[in-house]
Copies of this chain bind each other. A is one copy, B any other.
Amino acid sequence: MVAEIDVLSINTIRTLAPDVVQKANSGHPGAPMGCAPMAHTLFAKFIKANPSAPTWINRDRFVLSNGHACALLYIMLHLTGHNISLEDLKQFRQLNSKTPGHPEANHGVTGIEVSTGPLGQGISNAVGLAIAEAHAAATFNRPGFDLIDNYTYVICGDGCLQEGVQAEAASVAGHLQLGKLIVLYDDNHIQIDGDTALGFTEDVNKRFEAYGWHTQVIADGDKDFDGIEAAIEAAKKVTDKPSIIKIRTTIGFGSKNQGEEKVHGAPLGEQDIVNVKSLFGFNPENKFFIPEEVKAYYAEIQKKGVEAYDAWNALFAKYAAAYPDLAAEFTRRVAGELPAGLKEALPRYTPADPAVATRKLSENVLNKIAPILPELIGGSADLTGSNLTRWKGAVDFQPDSTGLGTYAGRYLRFGVREHGMSAICNGIHAYGAHIPFGATFFNFISYGLGAVRLSALSHHQVLYIMTHDSIGLGEDGPTHQPIETLAEIRALPNILSFRPADGNETSGAYLTALQNKTRPSVLILTRQNLPHLVGSTVEKVAFGGYVLQDVEGKADIVLVATGSEVAIAVDTAAELAKLSIKSRVVSFPCWELFDEQSQEYKESVFPEGVPVLSIEAMSTYGWEKWAHASIGINTFGASAPAKDLYKKFGLTPDQIAPKAKKLVDFYAGRTPEYKLRHAF
């Protein structure tokens, strides 16, 4: 039941938010004012957390999916005792502040679970957070020990509910019966273009019912605080369905322009703020004002959080006594430490082993590591049999009622939902106890790039297992053949792309990806078989590139290639030998890691004075960084058997060798510019 202090708290938020935006002279006051009742209700009455132990694994998660409303989130984090001061609120949207224009997870502010702002991501991440919770609970809870039982709460707006990524994730959540996921939909009828009548007239709750969600409506979210509280209580009681509560609100409630688009994305102006404060019984002279009663109230809330945390720790101590192995494993998982024996478990190969596709070699790795890496959880966007991502003995993550798996299962059936998959993986990682992976054809990583970008920005260790990585997929043709795709990933900061050439490199790519805990990795794998190469190693993948095969004395040319083209480079070297041209072959599985090596190491791979030819069955865009000439494909692909395509696109040793010779001749008597020496 709502007391006077709740009303005062809500009005505090409603008057504080416009101050924050006004001071920055930039930002979004409308949604924070409209969402103040639901945010206060959640934080004051439901969210179980301890800001002094912000990574407590069983805390309730809160996601502000409409990230542009972050003035609200920062205010709530300040009120609840997270590391945002009133001064930080005054630095909203300023350089190097803790309060950037949209919430950034893993950037030093506690209580920000995921980065939001790009619409549709937060609510989709929340599906991942809820999956991770359900999986952790099923894995670690024991009778009398509900170690994991947290909720995931979301506030989202109309924008998030228009995005496809949200539709994908919401359908998954309904199927998975994620009862601990509760979404509060700020139904304010206003989007940037104006009234939602312009283009968003669907029946949202009916749609969510179609997905299998529980739905409720609050007709007056500006005033019916009891209703909001009761609806959240009711949602918590529904254990086999996620819940959405559609709450009709007035954007910018209290402003003279309330209910209009004007209050969405610009400061209210000083005069309107005076009116707002007067309306809510606040002294207009006061800026950034929080009444002492509100501070005291939130201090009480914080205290309850500490008590819950202490009680949980006491529970965990008993659990550790009763289940020491499980507790140790739990502790390892939450600390993000890799288990022992991982490297030793990886398959290794010799050139005598038969040729195998790297997607199959990836399956070999998964078969070996999945049993000893129980934090690995993931699946494919409905390409399991093609991506080969389901390891032996895998159990599906499914509600018991489906008869298809259990919540302790670790194999996810994402469906044909690449964007949702990627955003869900971000959420699973954000939970803090898993290493998630998602799989599809490499070309379709583009469908999910909005979320992949946030994996990188938010330091989520997500493994993107991408097969069918080039024209080598053959007959499916240009709609499925990546050309620009690797450049997309390489141009993105804080992400690793691996294109392994054979078995050892595939094992090495997994090892390196698993060891890189603060960034996502993309594993780019072939459909077609590749030979195991002389000179390939597991370990050298971590260097990004290395000399696979060399000649005596100084080489006339360096052939640098990735993935399936490394074997072609080796064969080209043999062709060139017939022409008395000495070739060094460099395998270059991870461009980004090579770039991070010492100058000395890099020079040991690409020696000065030797021209470099790159060979990669996709766009040559960007290769000028390393190579003096490039063999690749700068058009779309074609539909035909893979061998025909390699021939058509000039990617055969007999076609490459003459070009390599031309490159050598081009530099005869001249020194090629050294790509590793820079003016600054």
Contact = CB atoms under 8 A, between A and B. Distances in A.
Contacts of A192: 382-386
Contacts of A164: 163-168, 417, 419-420, 447
Given A457-B478, A457-B636, A662-B679, A644 B101 contact: no
Contacts of A162: 168, 171, 382, 415-417
A662 B680 contact: yes
Given A164-B164, A210-B203, A491-B484, A450 B446 contact: yes
B640 A193 contact: no
A304 interface: no
Contacts of A199: 172, 175, 382, 413-415
A103 B385 CA distance: 23
A175 B163 contact: no
A438 B404 CA distance: 42
A542 to B, nearest CB: 21
A475 interface: yes
Contacts of A115: 479
Contacts of A484: 453, 488, 491-493
A386 B265 CA distance: 10
Nearest to A478: B457
A477 B102 contact: yes
A477 to B, nearest CB: 4
A641 B27 CA distance: 12
A619 interface: yes
A117 interface: yes
Interface string A540-576: 0000000000000000000000000000000000000
Interface string A56-77: 0000000000011000000000
Given A164-B419, A204-B210, A95 B638 contact: yes
Contact of A483 (B203, B382, B492, B619): B492
A175 B191 contact: no
Contact of A479 (B27, B206, B457, B619): B457
Interface of A: 24, 26-27, 67-68, 93-97, 100-102, 104, 115-120, 158-160, 162-168, 171-172, 174-175, 191-193, 197-204, 206-207, 209-212, 261, 380, 382-386, 396, 398, 402, 404, 413-420, 443-444, 446-447, 449-450, 453-454, 456-457, 474-480, 483-484, 487-488, 490-494, 611, 619, 621-622, 624-625, 628-629, 634-636, 638-641, 644-645, 648, 659, 662-663, 665-667, 672-673, 675, 678-680
9 contacts: A94-B644, A118-B480, A163-B447, A202-B211, A206-B206, A207-B211, A446-B449, A484-B488, A491-B619
Given A203-B210, A206-B209, A447-B450, 10 more contacts: A97-B640, A101-B477, A104-B479, A162-B382, A162-B415, A203-B209, A207-B210, A483-B491, A624-B624, A665-B679
